[in-house]
């Protein structure tokens, strides 16, 4: 506490900010009297005493004292699991439901099935790849802003999709926008969950990933029930409202637990010399495309099996 006190004495302007930091630390699930070794970090951060820095001290986790070992259960920890489950449902569930959109796009767009499946592929690729960067934001203490931006981009993408008419509009909204948004918020959320659990971590994360499957049910069911009745625009807007409602819960109740910590390097060249690791990742590169092949084409193929292949062919030539 000495460091904090001296910091306050040296700079009176920071009084307000210190107070806000204190009130935040009281909210933390395990209030710890231990003066954290991260104190100097908070001091250097709060030196420019302008509005921006004051806001930053509230949105980052710099003010959190190290709360000790993970609670591994309890109301707060399980709330995080519920929120993360919703977030995974809204991000990966939406990616996994692309199979529901594929046959519809094939029927309304003149583009080939291959060109159309780029929409879902780009979405999945961005979800995987952006996590590499956004996961580090959690470690650096920028949980809330990162997740907030991700959620905003994803919801923007879905509502823009509802007005899309041409292939490029579908690609930019569903492919890029929702992919970037989901990719930004899902990794920090998964990472946050694992900081709340130790021995039950496997089970907790298993429950969270089941949101993936539930999303893959919810979205196609909504599409199936509504597409014929209210048209594509309103169907997608309903999906958007589902996301708004559940992601608001996520942003309201998810709470970072740990102070910022040093992150590892983005790329570790040593890993490239590790033959089993490289072989395994290479193997995964062969295993992942077939999974998406099935997820995107399981629905179109079942249509084709019933000689309905003609239906889509004729609609395509008409349009």
Partner 1 sequence: MPYTTSLNMVIILNGVGIPARVLPGYIADRFIGVLNVLILCLIGNIILLWSWLAVDSIPAYYCWTVLYGLFGAAFQSLFPTTIAAYSSDITKTGTRLGMAFGVIGLAALVGGPISGALLDAADGDYTVPIAWASASTVVGTMLCTTARCVKFGWKVWVKC
Hey, which residues between 159 and 218 contact partner 1 (CB under 8 A)? Answer: 202-203, 206-207, 209-210, 212-217
Distance CA 1, CA 64 (A): 13
Q: Which of 268, 273, 317, 318 is the binder for partner 1 (CB under 8 A)?
A: 268
Cβ-based neighbour number of residue 50 at 10 Å: 9
Q: Which of 116, 151, 247, 254 is the binder for partner 1 (CB under 8 A)?
A: 116
Is 223 among the residues that bind partner 1 (CB under 8 A)? yes
Task: Say how many residues make up the chain.
Answer: 319
CB of 238 to partner 1, least distance (A): 15
Q: Which of 10, 234, 288, 314 is the binder for partner 1 (CB under 8 A)?
A: 288
Q: Which of 19, 35, 301, 314 is the binder for partner 1 (CB under 8 A)?
A: 301
Is 230 among the residues that bind partner 1 (CB under 8 A)? no
Q: Which of 1, 16, 248, 271 is the binder for partner 1 (CB under 8 A)?
A: 271
DSSP H helices, the chain, are 2-10, 15-27, 39-45, 51-59, 74-96, 98-108, 113-140, 143-161, 167-170, 178-195, 201-253, 275-303, 309-318
Distance CA 4, CA 22 (A): 11
Q: Which of 8, 148, 303, 316 is the binder for partner 1 (CB under 8 A)?
A: 303
Site string for partner 1, 23-62 (x = CB under 8 A): ----------------------------------------
The site that binds partner 1 (CB under 8 A) totals a number of residues, namely: 90
Q: Which of 289, 317, 318, 319 is the binder for partner 1 (CB under 8 A)?
A: 289
Cβ-based neighbour number of residue 56 at 10 Å: 18
Burial pattern 129-146, b for ≥16 Cβ within 10 A else e, equals ebbeebbbbbbebbbbeb
Is 142 among the residues that bind partner 1 (CB under 8 A)? no
Q: Which of 12, 287, 318, 319 is the binder for partner 1 (CB under 8 A)?
A: 287
Choose the binding region for partner 1 from 78-86, 106-114, 150-158, 252-260 (rule: CB under 8 A). 106-114
Shorter beta-carbon distance to partner 1: residue 112 or 166:
112
Is 298 among the residues that bind partner 1 (CB under 8 A)? yes
Is 78 among the residues that bind partner 1 (CB under 8 A)? no
Is 16 among the residues that bind partner 1 (CB under 8 A)? no
Shorter beta-carbon distance to partner 1: residue 46 or 121:
121
* Under 8 Å between Cβ of 71 and 28: no
Is 135 among the residues that bind partner 1 (CB under 8 A)? yes
Is 132 among the residues that bind partner 1 (CB under 8 A)? yes
Distance CA 122, CA 176 (A): 7
DSSP 46-86: T-S-SHHHHHHHHHSSTT-----S---SHHHHHHHHHHHHH
Distance CA 233, CA 164 (A): 8
Helix/strand/coil for 33: coil
Is 124 among the residues that bind partner 1 (CB under 8 A)? yes
Q: Alpha-carbon dihedral of residues 135, 139, 145, 147, nearest 10 degrees?
A: 30
Q: Which of 2, 75, 286, 319 is the binder for partner 1 (CB under 8 A)?
A: 286
């Amino acid at each position: 506490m000495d460091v904090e006190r001296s910091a306050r004495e040296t700079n009176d302007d920071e009084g307000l900010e210190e107070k806000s930091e204190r009130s935040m630390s009281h909210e933390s699930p395990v209030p710890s009297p231990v003066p954290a070794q991260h104190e100097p970090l908070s001091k250097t951060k709060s030196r420019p005493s302008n509005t921006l820095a004051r806001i930053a001290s509230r949105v980052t986790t710099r003010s959190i004292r190290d709360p000790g070992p993970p609670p591994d259960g309890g109301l707060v920890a399980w709330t995080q699991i519920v929120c993360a489950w919703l977030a995974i449902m809204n991000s990966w569930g939406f990616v996994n439901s692309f199979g529901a959109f594929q046959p519809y796009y094939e029927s309304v767009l003149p583009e080939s099935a291959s060109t159309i499946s780029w929409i879902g592929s780009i979405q999945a690729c961005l979800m995987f790849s952006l996590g590499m960067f956004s996961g580090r934001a959690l470690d650096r203490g920028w949980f809330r802003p990162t997740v907030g931006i991700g959620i905003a981009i994803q919801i923007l993408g879905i509502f823009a999709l509802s007005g899309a008419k041409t292939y490029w509009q579908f690609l930019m909204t569903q492919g890029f926008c929702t992919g970037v948004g989901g990719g930004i918020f899902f990794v920090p959320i998964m990472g946050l969950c694992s900081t709340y659990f130790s021995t039950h971590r496997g089970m907790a994360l298993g429950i969270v990933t089941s949101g993936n499957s539930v999303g893959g049910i919810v979205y196609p069911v909504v599409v199936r029930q509504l597409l014929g009745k209210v048209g594509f625009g309103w169907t997608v807007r309903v999906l958007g409202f589902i996301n708004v409602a559940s992601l608001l819960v996520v942003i309201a109740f998810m709470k970072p637990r740990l102070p910022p910590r040093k992150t590892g390097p983005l790329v570790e060249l040593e890993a490239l010399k590790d033959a089993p690791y490289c072989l395994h990742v290479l193997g995964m590169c062969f295993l992942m495309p077939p999974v998406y092949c099935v997820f995107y084409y399981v629905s179109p193929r079942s249509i084709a099996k019933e000689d309905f292949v003609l239906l889509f062919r004729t609609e395509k030539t008409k349009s």
